[in-house]
Amino acid sequence: MTLLRKRDIPEEKYTNAFLGYGPEETHFVVELTYNYGVEKYNLGTGFGHFGIAVEDVYKTVELIKDKGGKVTREPGPVKGGSSVIAFVADPDDYLFELIQRKATPEPLCQVMLRVGDLDRSIHYYKNAFGMKLLRKIDRPEYKYTLAMLGYAPEEETTVLELTYNYGVTEYDKGNAYAQIAIGTDDVYKTAEAVRFFAGKITREPGPLPGIKTKITASLDPDGWKTVFVDNADFLKELE
Ligand SMILES: C[C@@H](O)C(=O)SC[C@H](NC(=O)CC[C@H](N)C(=O)O)C(=O)NCC(=O)O
């Protein structure tokens, strides 16, 4: 990944770094936050991983090992399927799933979150967020079902991978993973849609003090947070 931007907000006692495979205007990026003096977080059990598409999982894992990285699952076909995958952990133990795919414009291809009722989540993300259900995979032998949701095909964009483990209705969300952010042309309408489809608004839509970018923050039926940011305001902020 490339370090795209770093900002220090001393008055709020944190520093952010934005990393990704392309500019923030067109790519999904990871926003890392360092809160002054906080060295350790609880990752909980609900957050799964970020997915990264690579052309050769075996070679990538060798490179990661050579650089002293931590491999938590050796490369090979996924249990119950044929995709070649591996898992690696970053220094804070966030998991990254490496997924073997042809070259793609968006290698940062998944955010995996565990949910307690897959149909409830699919209904919510389709209707409140306008996402498409791209794929559903049931692996009864491993007692889980996945749903891939997003705004474009998986080969082209980042998708939300929601995982339902049979019989598990709740997870510890910890205090490490925070949220995804999605662009919208109208934060007010988005907030209405969230409320209509039983999500919760935790920050009323409107401009942020100081920078004036309009945002709204929401929780899905499992309590996973999404911040919506006004597209035009965000582009101005990046200028
Ligand atoms: C692309 C898609 O097929 C995958 O890579 S699924 C990866 C698979 N996921 C799960 O097992 C989800 C259920 C699990 N109980 C959980 O909550 O994480 C996976 O991680 N497989 C591991 C393996 O070794 O194959």
User: Which residue is closest in CA terms to ligand 1's atom 10?
Assistant: 144
| Res 239 pLDDT > 90 | no
Mean pLDDT of 111-140: 98
Mean pLDDT of 143-160: 97
ipTM of the complex: 0.97
Q: Which three-class secondary structure state does DSSP give residue 238?
A: helix
Beta strand 214-219 with 225-230: parallel, antiparallel or unpaired?
antiparallel
pLDDT of amino acid 174: 98
Residues 6+ apart with CB under 8 A from 166: 143, 144, 145
pLDDT of amino acid 80: 96
- For 127-147, how does the pLDDT look when each residue is reduced to its tens digit (9 = 90+)? 999 999 999 999 999 999 999
| Res 238 pLDDT > 90 | no
Q: Where are the alpha helices (DSSP H) in the chain?
A: 57-66, 118-127, 187-196, 231-238
Burial of 141 by CB count in 10 Å (0-12 exposed, 13-18 middle, 19+ buried)? Answer: exposed
Percent of the chain with pLDDT over 70: 100
Share the mean pLDDT of the chain: 97
- Report the catalytic residues: 97
pLDDT of amino acid 210: 84
User: Which residue is closest in CA terms to ligand 1's atom 6?
Assistant: 78
Confidence at 108, pLDDT banded by 50, 70, 90:
very high
Confidence at 159, pLDDT banded by 50, 70, 90:
very high
Q: Give the whole-angstrom CA distance, residue 30 versus residue 45.
A: 20
pLDDT of amino acid 158: 97
| Res 182 pLDDT > 90 | yes
Q: Give the whole-angstrom CA distance, residue 159 versus residue 137.
A: 14
List all residues whose CB is within 6 A of at least one atom of ligand 1.
48, 73, 78-79, 81, 83, 85, 114, 137, 142, 144, 163, 165
User: In this structure, what is the dihedral angle of CA atoms 43, 47, 51, 57, given to the nearest 10 degrees?
Assistant: 60
| Res 51 pLDDT > 90 | yes
CA distances from 209 to 129, 213, 215 (A): 25, 8, 11
Mean pLDDT of 29-44: 97
Q: Give the whole-angstrom CA distance, residue 129 versus residue 221.
A: 13
- For 196-222, how does the pLDDT look when each residue is reduced to its tens digit (9 = 90+)? 999 999 999 999 988 899 999 999 999
CA of 137 to the centre of ligand 1 (A): 11
Percent of the chain with pLDDT over 90: 97
pLDDT of amino acid 221: 97
CA of 161 to the centre of ligand 1 (A): 10
CA of 227 to the centre of ligand 1 (A): 27
Mean pLDDT of 158-168: 98
Confidence at 192, pLDDT banded by 50, 70, 90:
very high
Mean pLDDT of 167-187: 98
